Amino acid sequence: ERFASVRAQELLAFAITRMLHTAAPDARYVWCSIAGRGCAFRYEFSSAAALQTWLASDDGLACAPCQVLSMVCSLLLTRGLSTIRDDMDDASVPLVGVFGHCSQELTNLCLTGRATTNIFDGDLAFEDGEDSLRLKGVSGFPEVGFLP
């Protein structure tokens, strides 16, 4: 009843905007609308409110035939590819697995805004003399997904 007066497209636009806002290292949001093989359109927004309004409009999500792929590409472009590589323990790991499933890094990017490899709290460092290994986990508590 609470959401009866809100269109589903507006709720989806709000959720996607929150994801992109969480992932954005600065106040720049990119929406990459994938229209088909080899056909993509890039839109840039300087505020989350402008992005949400556009996504909820008839020109936004309604026009994107590949909405999930558009959302993933938009997350990557908004966060920045080099920043995403820095988030990961191993930058050579693909975000989409061999059988088409998303990696833990992509899941964490969607939920927390960072493409960390692990789901434990914070980072863990292992040291053995001069050798060290740092594993990156989730920092903070996301609004959805992981339990505190």
What is the pLDDT, as a whole number, of residue 120? 86
Number of domains in the chain: 2
Domain of 50? Answer: 1-79
| pTM listed for this prediction | 0.84
What is the pLDDT, as a whole number, of residue 5? 60
Examine the domain organization and report whether 112 and 49 are in the same domain. no
User: For residue 80, is it left (φ>0), alpha (ψ between -120 and 50) or beta?
Assistant: left
Examine the domain organization and report whether 67 and 86 are in the same domain. no
**Which residues of the chain fall short of a pLDDT of 70?**
1-5, 144-148
What is the pLDDT, as a whole number, of residue 2? 63
Examine the domain organization and report whether 102 and 39 are in the same domain. no
Examine the domain organization and report whether 102 and 128 are in the same domain. yes
Q: Flag whether 119 is in a domain.
A: yes
Residue 110's CB is within 10 A of a number of other CB atoms, namely 20
Q: Flag whether 144 is in a domain.
A: no
The burial class, CB within 10 Å (0-12 / 13-18 / 19+), for 20 is buried
What is the pLDDT, as a whole number, of residue 3? 61
